[in-house]
Every structure is written in C-alpha cells, then in structure tokens.
C-alpha cells in the first residue's frame, strides 16, 4: 500500500480531531524504517506479527474498540459489549474510521468537548493472524481482501483473549455494521467472560477511574494554572445573576492538594515556608474527605488570627477539572468540601447576594480591600481578564 493511500485512509480520523486539544496521536509518526524492521522480524518468525489492540472507551457510552492492523493503519470497530468467548454471543461491531498505528499505544483521556471525549484504557493487545493465510500468503494482504469482502477470520494472541474469531459484515453503507463471533476452537469458554472479569489496563494495571484521575492531575501539574482576573470597575454591576465576594489584601495562591502534591504556589510560581502550616491542614482535609482538589485563594494576614488562606474558587475536584462549570456549582463544591470539617487556617471567602450601600458598609467594617462581583453562571477562565468578574476597591 502506498503512502498516499494510507494518508487518505486516515483523513477521516484527522478530520474529526483537533490535535492541539487532544493527546491522541495524529498518525504518521512511526518511521517507515521501523515498520520495515518490524515486518522483517515477523517474517523471520514465519507468521505476520500484525498487531491488534482492544481499547475500553468510556465516551458518551461505554464500548470496546477493536483495532486490527492492516495496510499500515488500524481497521477499527466499536463493540458496545466487547468480545465474548462464547460462540453463541454474536456481538455488534460498528466499523469506524481507520486509526493510525500509534493509536494502539494510546491510553489516557480525551478532553470532554472533543470527538470521543472520555477515558481510554488499553484493555488487551497482542498479535493476530489471518486464519486463512497459510504459509506463503501474507496475512496483511489476506486481511485486506477479507475486509473488502465483508468476512474476516482471524486468530488473536492477546494477553486476555486468545483464539479464532470472525467478523461478518451485515450492513454496508457509510457506517457499516458487523458481528464479531467466537469460532469454535479450544479457546471457547461459556462460563468465563473476560469483559466482566477484567477491569484494568493490561499495560498500566489502572482502572478507568484511576486513568481519569491521574490524567487530570497530570494535566494540572504540567501547566500550573494561571489565575483568572477581575476587570477593574467604577461601580458594581447589579442584578440577580451577580454575586459579591470578599477581596483580601495578600498573595494570590493556588493550593494543589492531590495524592501527588501538597503545595501552595503563588502566582509567580514561588512557594513559601510560611504557607506550610496551611498546606498541612489542607492535606489533612484531603485525607479525611478522600479527594484531591486545587483551590484558588489569597493568603492574607488576619489581625486576629495571623496568616490565613481565604478560598474563593476551585478548579479541580476529585478527579475532574471543573473550569467549565458555572461559578455556583464550583462554589457548592467548595462548601461541601469544607462542611463540618475544621480547618483553622482556612476559610471560604464571604459571598453576598446584593450590591448597595449595606454591602459597602459591611465590606469596610470587615476590612476587605475590595469587592469582586462575579457572574453566577460564569466559567473559570485561567489567565484571563474577564468581564464576568469585576473588582471595585473599598475606600
């Protein structure tokens, strides 16, 4: 197969994805020499060495993606129930666009708003053979021929699945439907269902929840977050979609409290030993609550109690990056995190619902340096000056 045809075959795949946003491979990364070398090695062992992978994919709905290497790409099917070792179970397999070979290595998360958004686990992998390709016939050519004809017989040698299977096309058209069926051989099993029994990655041993959690933590650690900023305003906006939050004089600080880190980091990237006591209290809170989180707030000096962390926002909570949630939902998360838990050096920024002279009087009496009006439905936009947040100083 020529390079051009291979590229054409992946154009659907590339079209559906924005590679600036997703960590999935764009394809074309495996050098030609590496492919040749792998083929040569396979030839030396007589049979093909074609690769297969089954990825468990929690997108809008949970399914298993069966991918068979052929013609320099991964022919791909979404199998809602996964493969069965019982020949009586004919499983629906919807053919989807060809994927690049490197996709077989992909495990992680696809951003929520992107194509196929969700968590991907490498559920099984190995090599496979064309059942019909005996000796002289090349497996790759045979699989492509059978794919064209709509009936593929193949033998999987995976870590979890072994044995002979058939893919049979039942419906052509833009979204071809197939059935995947276990052939009768010594690997048939009626009382052993790998889909139910195996819920971890064959590569990393992680569950779906662990993959999702670690990926979002890595995401935050990679690019430590920049604070969202308020626009300066002369007067506070009024109306029911606004709330009014306490602003303290001090250092803007993110608290990264996840299983991998317990750090308070100022917006210039610095940390400070003086923050340690606060970090320890938040670490203990994470242990008690059984969840990691990243908070936005201000470390300030309170006349009565010394150094304190006044929390105004949350950007990561219990495995989820929550930037896109409305302010009201993020606030509810913080309130639930701190509810009935004693964290002496930390408190939530006070929020009031109405602007006006009473608010200004209250702010002055409490020693606020200003008031931030926040639009209740607004997301958190890291590093941006947004008109969804407006700041007025207290005179």
Within 139-217, strands assigned E span 151-158, 162-171, 177-182
The nearer residue to Mn ion, 113 or 191, going by C-beta atoms, is 113
The nearer residue to Mn ion, 13 or 389, going by C-beta atoms, is 13
Which residue has its beta carbon closest to Mn ion? 57
The nearer residue to Mn ion, 51 or 57, going by C-beta atoms, is 57
Given a contact cutoff of 8 angstroms between Cβ atoms, the answer to whether 86 and 182 are in contact is: yes
Query: Site for Mn ion (CB under 5 A): which residue of 51, 53, 65, 106?
Result: 65
Smallest Cα–Cα separation from 24: which of 118, 163, 132, 96?
A: 118
Query: Can you read off the two tokens belonging to residue 290?
Result: 């059984």
Query: Within positions 123 to 142, which residues make up the interface with Mn ion, using CB under 5 A?
Result: none
Q: By rule CB under 5 A, what count of residues binds Mn ion?
A: 2
The nearer residue to Mn ion, 80 or 344, going by C-beta atoms, is 80
Counting contacts by CB under 5 A, is residue 333 touching Mn ion?
Answer: no
The nearer residue to Mn ion, 65 or 95, going by C-beta atoms, is 65
Counting contacts by CB under 5 A, is residue 388 touching Mn ion?
Answer: no
Counting contacts by CB under 5 A, is residue 107 touching Mn ion?
Answer: no
What is the phi/psi pair of residue 164, to 5°? Answer: -95, 135
Distance CA 302, CA 312 (A): 16
**Minimum CB–partner distance for residue 94 and Mn ion (Å):** 10
**Minimum CB–partner distance for residue 395 and Mn ion (Å):** 58
Query: Within positions 367 to 386, which residues make up the interface with Mn ion, using CB under 5 A?
Result: none
The nearer residue to Mn ion, 12 or 231, going by C-beta atoms, is 12
Distance CA 12, CA 216 (A): 28
DSSP-derived letter for residue 172 is -
Query: Site for Mn ion (CB under 5 A): which residue of 51, 57, 91, 147?
Result: 57
Smallest Cα–Cα separation from 368: which of 237, 236, 226, 225?
A: 236
**Minimum CB–partner distance for residue 288 and Mn ion (Å):** 37
**Minimum CB–partner distance for residue 96 and Mn ion (Å):** 7
Given a contact cutoff of 8 angstroms between Cβ atoms, the answer to whether 198 and 121 are in contact is: no
In angstroms, what is the C-alpha Rg of the chain? Answer: 28
Task: Report H helices in the chain.
Answer: 3-15, 32-44, 139-149, 194-197, 208-222, 276-289, 327-338, 357-366
Residues that bind Mn ion (CB under 5 A): 57, 65
């Amino acid at each position: 197969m020529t390079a051009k045809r291979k590229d054409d075959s992946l154009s659907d795949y590339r079209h559906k994805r924005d590679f600036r946003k997703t960590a999935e491979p764009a394809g074309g990364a495996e050098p030609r020499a590496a492919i040749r070398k792998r083929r040569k090695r396979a030839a030396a062992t007589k049979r093909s060495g074609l690769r297969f992978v089954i990825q468990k994919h929690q997108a809008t709905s949970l399914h298993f993606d069966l991918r068979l290497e052929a013609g320099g790409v991964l022919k791909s099917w979404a199998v809602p129930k996964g493969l069965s070792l019982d020949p009586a179970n004919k499983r629906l397999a919807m053919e989807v666009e060809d994927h690049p070979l490197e996709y077989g290595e992909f495990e992680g998360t696809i951003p929520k708003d992107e194509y196929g958004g969700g968590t991907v686990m490498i559920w099984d992998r190995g090599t496979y053979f064309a059942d019909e390709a005996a000796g002289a016939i090349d497996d790759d050519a045979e699989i492509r021929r059978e794919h064209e004809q709509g009936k593929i017989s193949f033998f999987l040698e995976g870590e979890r699945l072994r044995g002979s299977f058939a893919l049979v096309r039942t419906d052509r058209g833009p979204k071809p439907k197939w059935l995947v069926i276990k052939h009768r051989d010594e690997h048939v099993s009626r009382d052993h269902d790998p889909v139910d029994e195996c819920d971890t990655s064959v590569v990393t041993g992680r569950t779906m929840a662990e993959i999702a959690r670690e990926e979002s933590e890595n995401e935050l650690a990679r690019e430590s977050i920049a604070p969202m900023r308020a626009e300066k305003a002369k007067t506070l906006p009024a109306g029911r979609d606004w709330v009014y939050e306490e602003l303290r004089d001090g250092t803007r600080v993110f608290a990264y409290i996840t299983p991998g880190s317990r750090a308070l980091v100022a917006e210039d990237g610095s940390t400070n030993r003086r923050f340690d006591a606060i970090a320890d209290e938040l670490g203990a809170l994470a242990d008690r609550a059984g969840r990691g989180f990243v908070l936005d707030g201000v470390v300030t000096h309170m006349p009565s109690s010394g150094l304190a962390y006044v929390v105004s926002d949350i950007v990561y909570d219990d495995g989820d990056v929550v930037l896109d949630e409305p302010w009201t939902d993020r606030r509810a998360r913080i309130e639930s995190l701190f509810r009935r838990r004693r964290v002496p050096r930390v408190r939530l920024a006070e929020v009031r619902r109405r602007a006006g002279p009473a608010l200004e009087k209250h702010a002055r009496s409490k020693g606020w340096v200003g008031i931030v009006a926040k639009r209740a439905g607004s997301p958190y936009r890291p590093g941006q000056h947004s008109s969804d947040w407006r700041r007025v100083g207290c005179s």
